[in-house]
Structure 1
Amino acid sequence: MSLSLDITPPLRHPPPPFRDRSLPAVLARFVKQRYMTTARRKKWKDTLRWQLRFHSYFWPMAGLLYLMYIGYWQIEREHQNPTPVEWSFWARWEGRMAKGILKRVERRGWGSMYEWGVAGTYLEKLLARLEDPKRDGRGISEQEVRDGAGVLMVDGVGKLGYDISAKSGRWKQGYWEVLMGLAKVAEHMDGLCKPKGDALTGKMFRWENIPGPQNPRPVPAAWDKDGAHLNVPGITEVEAAMEEPEYYYLHILTSHGFNNRQRLDAALAYADWCDFKGLKDTSAHIYDWAIDIAAGGLPEGADHVVDIQTGVINAGKERFVSENLLKASTALGVWHARHGDVKEALPIFLSVLRARKALPPAPPHMQLQGSGSNNRAISAAERKAQSGTDVVLSWGRHFIDFFREADKALLPTSGDEQPYHSLKEACEEVGLMTYIGEILFATSEHEREKGLSWTRDSVEAAEAVLWFMDEQGVGSEQEGRQRCKECLETGLGNWQEMTRQMTKLARKREGEAKQSSKGWLGSLGLGGNAIDKAIAEVKRWEEEEAQIELRKQKTASLVDVLKPSGNPFGMNTNLGI
């Protein structure tokens, strides 16, 4: 007989009793333990009633305040970036957003690819609206051949732009701004591609990163924190980020209804883009096209006013020039100077300067516009001196003007009129003088003194114009003030560099004179005059260098807000200075 003993030790911590956690069991225990008492039930009802009342008031008020903020923001943007009243609500919305981004990028001097992509997205949507006859494009039509056989096509261009002659001037100006904005975005998107169907704000790749039959050894994509550089799509999975810039420029140049100023600005921008891409012959043809556009609006025959082949304005015909012609000839001269063709650039600059100096003075009412006390900001002392009634009325007018539709009656002119000699034109003259001085100094040793003289005159003229603008209260963006600042800074830099070269040349001559005095000329006593002359010349240029430093200190308040610029026209001629 075997005896079994249970020697299992007792559990130190016995498991908790089983509790049914189903919903009916939980409710039963809740009622059984009498958690839902009468007082607690009343408190819950009061809390629920208060929450419903709070949310029924708060969220509608929050939504209304948000809509008011969006409305205020859009009104402010509308005043900063006016859009045509003929456009629909969403067209104007997209136009304001795109123009705001482009202005911010231009003011800052640089923009991220995301910002360019957002601006391009808005502009592409807006362009689709404006070119849709069922929406904002009512009244536009495709250009057809005369017998009505179909849409007009041109080799190398494709379908021409639309016929927008039936639309208003404000609509055309807005449409032109959209196309020019898209061209600017396309320039920054040049050489980029994106996965098919993706937005412009998504991941971008360069074409050399995409593997394919034409690119068996692709360049590794730039590093991306999300790892997109590790998953580069194939050649069949991507498409160009945007159309080529020339598509939008030619869209303007081949459309029917734009004025000469709009077409000329598009032609000059297109020529500059082709020159940037290294297409010198193409840019030369487009500059010739720009001269033809400008000459087409002259009141007299173009051959009598300007030489179409060279862009030089004929002497004695200055009274027939137009603003477009001055702009086109200057741009052609800058292009020649940039490529070192100074023999072609110098006559153009001289003829344009002669024509600008012969412009008639502006009428009295235009002389006061933008440069008097009427347009300058009211200082705190002046505001305090005014009576309280005037201040209230002034603020009342500002409040009413804020909610009033922005005034777009003053559209840019066609550019076929002769400009007046204003502060803006004076700044353009300073830029031309700077260029002429640089060309004369860099191309001929015998003309260096003339080049220095032109440069000195340009600095003095720019300084005088800027001080006059300060006295008249002209803003930084009015009457060409920014151009004058750039001309002053560039002129001072050129003047200093020219003087340094002349100082080196004078010291070299001094050394040669001293070396010659030790030879047979010195034995005859004929070298002393040459040495004295060389020493005097060195002192002259050293004194001029000191004067330039003093001039820089004097004009520091006029140019200290500027970043270094290549020249007054924003380009680098590379003439050897």
Structure 2
Amino acid sequence: MRPRLVVRRARLSTPRQALRSRTPCLRTFAYYTQLTTKSRPILPFLAIPVTNRSVRCFTTERKQWLKHEAKMAVRYTVSFWGILVCMGVIYFFINEESLERDFPTPHEWGFITRKLLRDANNGKDPKNGQVNWAQAMELSRGCVLRLEDAKVDGEGVTKLSDIVDPTAQFPGEFNPCDISGKSEEWRRGYFEAIMLAAKASEHTDGWVRDLTRNVISPPEFVIGPSNPRPVPIPPGQPHAPREEDCEIAYPSADSWYMKVLATKGFTARQKLEAALEYASFMEFKQRPEGPDALYNLALAEATQGLNMSNPPYNPKTFVLNEKAGPPSLNLLDAITAVATHKARSGDISAALPIYLSLLKARRFLPNDPPTVSRTRAPRESLWTQVLSAVSQPDYPSPPPDGTQAPWRSPQERCQEASLSLWIGEILYASSSRDDGLSWTRDSVDIAEEQLRALGPTTDDKTSKQTCCECLTAGLDNWGRMVVKLAKEEEQMREKAANRSSVFSFWSGAQSAEGRWAAEDGVVKERVRRTKELLEDVRKEDPGLAALFKA
């Protein structure tokens, strides 16, 4: 018989004995651990995990998660900056469209040339009121250079002179050109760019460039022998330049005006405007020999094509001839400039008859505008209206050439007010103070009436500017006259009080005392009342920032 194996009970009963010898929780955990040795261990609730440094941190799953996060970061970053770039491009083109509507440019020019002229005009007349003549000068100058370059926008423009100044920044820049082959819009825009450069040169006359830093500075800040008392530099600006390190930054205005007068292709009206502006600049620079020749040139342009057997004005006294018929706009402007030049020179005896003849001629002008035959435009479709709303506006039609007599528009009526102002000032200074005050009051009344008729939302900026200038000058002259008369009245009253006695009859003249002081109060009240008419406050466009305001 085969013997059986002896099995010790102690070994078979070891797990049970072990379970009995421990606590119930640990007994259950050990039991299930032995039954499921290959399963995942079940930890008790709120068990503290133990960090094992031997476990790998960069697993395959973590690697995929990091790749996903990196892709999302790149996607969000590119999307964010893409949206910003798109918004910047949209804002840029909206701003350019707004500037184009404020300062139109010829459509046949290139984009860069048109932008230069728009930005130059914006520097001269910005919405925030901070005029930057240096920017207007540089941009308008660059626009003119591009218009004369055959490789850019100057195809068909020929130079009338081959003289080149080797010391100039741009040789041949001020040589006159022949632009007769260009369109009217191109020539008008070219004239606007040159005249803007000339006006900017007047305001930047004498400005210097510091060669060591390439900084433009007005002459009053320069430190040197020619300026022993320099003006302090404003806070935040570069330090003052030294005279030995500087050179003249911009060309003189004479070069620009002479270029306009010598260029072939401009109209008589454009050359007349250039001659009058040049003469005014020479008067400001106190050059006595230049203005007379320029005024004669302006009169020659104004009377071009007229029959001089019956001249429209007296060549010696410049008084208008009533028998020659209504004067043209060019002749009125030229004769007015001549009279103003004589008045500023002190020859008021010669200026007064000219002003009176001009005022009489303007008052006999027609009150209604000339009739223009208009053809009824065909009715546009809805799609055409949408396209016209989003497309760029048409270039403005050409202004009058000045060869015809004007009508009494608001601007012409304000010109009448300015003539009354000049007449009143001359009469007050020469012969009769009462007559001078009467003419001055009439000019203020006419200017205020026209300003109120135009209204605050008018699109006729030229007429509004003329009336504002006339009203401001009229109120200023009126106030100065009354203040002077009030002081004299006060002095006379004090002298009379010192000479008064028991037998004097000054009590009967008390009603006349204080007349000019009372009128001074009337002038101040008039200034307060017309303040709203003279202020041209432009509301700033808040743009997208208004969406985030409460």
TM-score between both structures, scaled by the size of structure 1: 0.70
Q: Deviation per CA, 1:272-291: give whole Å up to 9, x if none.
A: 22222221322333233223
The amino acid of 2:480's aligned partner reads: E
* 1:428 Cα deviation from its structure 2 partner: 1.0
Structure 2 counterpart of 1:306, from 310, 313, 323:
313
Structure 2 counterpart of 1:349, from 350, 355, 367:
355
Contact 2:272 2:302 in 1 (8 A): yes
Structure 2 counterpart of 1:439, from 415, 426, 433:
426
Paired position in structure 2 for 1:103: 125
Taking a change above 3 Å as real, the CA distance of residues 33 and 93 of structure 1, as seen in their structure-2 partners, is farther
The amino acid of 1:87's aligned partner reads: W
Q: Hey, what's the Cα distance between the residues in 2 that align with 1:440 and 1:419?
A: 28
* 1:324 Cα deviation from its structure 2 partner: 1.8
Paired position in structure 1 for 2:468: 485
Q: Hey, what's the Cα distance between the residues in 2 that align with 1:263 and 1:134?
A: 27
Structure 1 counterpart of 2:412, from 405, 412, 425:
425
Q: Hey, what's the Cα distance between the residues in 1 that align with 2:242 and 2:295?
A: 40
Paired position in structure 2 for 1:381: none
Taking a change above 3 Å as real, the CA distance of residues 475 and 516 of structure 1, as seen in their structure-2 partners, is same
Contact 2:106 2:185 in 1 (8 A): yes
Paired position in structure 1 for 2:150: 133
Structure 1 counterpart of 2:267, from 252, 259, 268:
259
Contact 2:223 2:241 in 1 (8 A): no
Contact 1:438 1:455 in 2 (8 A): yes
Secondary structure at the aligned position of 1:194 is classed as: strand
Paired position in structure 2 for 1:449: 434
Bigger-Rg structure (1/2): 2
Alignment of 1:546-561 (within 5 A): 547-549=522-524, 551-552=526-527, 554-559=529-534
Paired position in structure 2 for 1:23: none
Q: Deviation per CA, 1:433-472: give whole Å up to 9, x if none.
A: 111111101112xx222212212222332333334334xx
* 1:551 Cα deviation from its structure 2 partner: 4.3
Taking a change above 3 Å as real, the CA distance of residues 37 and 303 of structure 1, as seen in their structure-2 partners, is farther
Alignment of 1:335-374 (within 5 A): 335-363=341-369
The amino acid of 1:475's aligned partner reads: T
* 1:400 Cα deviation from its structure 2 partner: 4.4
| Alignment partner of 1:288 is 2:267 | no
Taking a change above 3 Å as real, the CA distance of residues 169 and 309 of structure 1, as seen in their structure-2 partners, is farther
| Alignment partner of 1:70 is 2:92 | yes
| Alignment partner of 1:83 is 2:99 | no
| Higher mean C-alpha displacement, 498-507 vs 434-443 | 498-507
The amino acid of 2:445's aligned partner reads: E
Contact 1:295 1:302 in 2 (8 A): no
Secondary structure at the aligned position of 2:394 is classed as: coil
Q: Hey, what's the Cα distance between the residues in 1 that align with 2:160 and 2:72?
A: 67
Alignment of 1:136-215 (within 5 A): 136-143=153-160, 160-195=175-210, 202-204=215-217, 206=219, 209=222
Count residues in correspondence: 471
Secondary structure at the aligned position of 1:262 is classed as: helix
Structure 2 counterpart of 1:463, from 448, 465, 483:
448
Overall identity of the aligned pairs, in % = 31
| Alignment partner of 1:275 is 2:292 | no
Q: Hey, what's the Cα distance between the residues in 1 that align with 2:230 and 2:516?
A: 54
Secondary structure at the aligned position of 2:208 is classed as: strand
Q: Hey, what's the Cα distance between the residues in 1 that align with 2:54 and 2:106?
A: 73
* 1:197 Cα deviation from its structure 2 partner: 9.8
Q: Hey, what's the Cα distance between the residues in 1 that align with 2:370 and 2:269?
A: 26
| Alignment partner of 1:246 is 2:251 | no
The amino acid of 1:453's aligned partner reads: S
Structure 2 counterpart of 1:93, from 96, 112, 115:
115
Q: Hey, what's the Cα distance between the residues in 2 that align with 1:322 and 1:171?
A: 26
Q: Deviation per CA, 1:348-379: give whole Å up to 9, x if none.
A: 2112111111112223878xxxxxxxxxxxxx
Taking a change above 3 Å as real, the CA distance of residues 61 and 322 of structure 1, as seen in their structure-2 partners, is same
Taking a change above 3 Å as real, the CA distance of residues 219 and 551 of structure 1, as seen in their structure-2 partners, is closer
Taking CA–CA contacts closer than 8 Å with sequence separation of 6 or more, which of the two structures ends up with the larger relative contact order?
A: 1
Q: Hey, what's the Cα distance between the residues in 2 that align with 1:116 and 1:492?
A: 29
Q: Hey, what's the Cα distance between the residues in 1 that align with 2:522 and 2:368?
A: 35
Taking a change above 3 Å as real, the CA distance of residues 198 and 343 of structure 1, as seen in their structure-2 partners, is farther
The amino acid of 1:173's aligned partner reads: R
* 1:163 Cα deviation from its structure 2 partner: 0.8
| Alignment partner of 1:331 is 2:337 | yes
* 1:171 Cα deviation from its structure 2 partner: 0.8
Secondary structure at the aligned position of 1:165 is classed as: coil
Contact 1:190 1:244 in 2 (8 A): yes
Q: Deviation per CA, 1:503-528: give whole Å up to 9, x if none.
A: 55556667788899989xx8xxxx86
Taking a change above 3 Å as real, the CA distance of residues 120 and 47 of structure 1, as seen in their structure-2 partners, is same
Taking a change above 3 Å as real, the CA distance of residues 184 and 45 of structure 1, as seen in their structure-2 partners, is same
Contact 1:430 1:487 in 2 (8 A): yes
Structure 1 counterpart of 2:395, from 405, 408, 416:
408
Q: Deviation per CA, 1:376-396: give whole Å up to 9, x if none.
A: xxxxxxxxxxxxxxxxx99x9
Taking a change above 3 Å as real, the CA distance of residues 162 and 118 of structure 1, as seen in their structure-2 partners, is same
Contact 1:456 1:495 in 2 (8 A): yes
TM-score between both structures, scaled by the size of structure 2: 0.73
* 1:92 Cα deviation from its structure 2 partner: 1.3
The amino acid of 1:176's aligned partner reads: F
The amino acid of 2:439's aligned partner reads: W
Secondary structure at the aligned position of 1:538 is classed as: coil
Q: Give unpaired runs (5+ residues) of structure 1.
A: 1-30, 145-149, 367-392, 563-577
Q: Hey, what's the Cα distance between the residues in 2 that align with 1:437 and 1:496?
A: 13
Q: Deviation per CA, 1:469-500: give whole Å up to 9, x if none.
A: 34xx7627446233323333433343343344
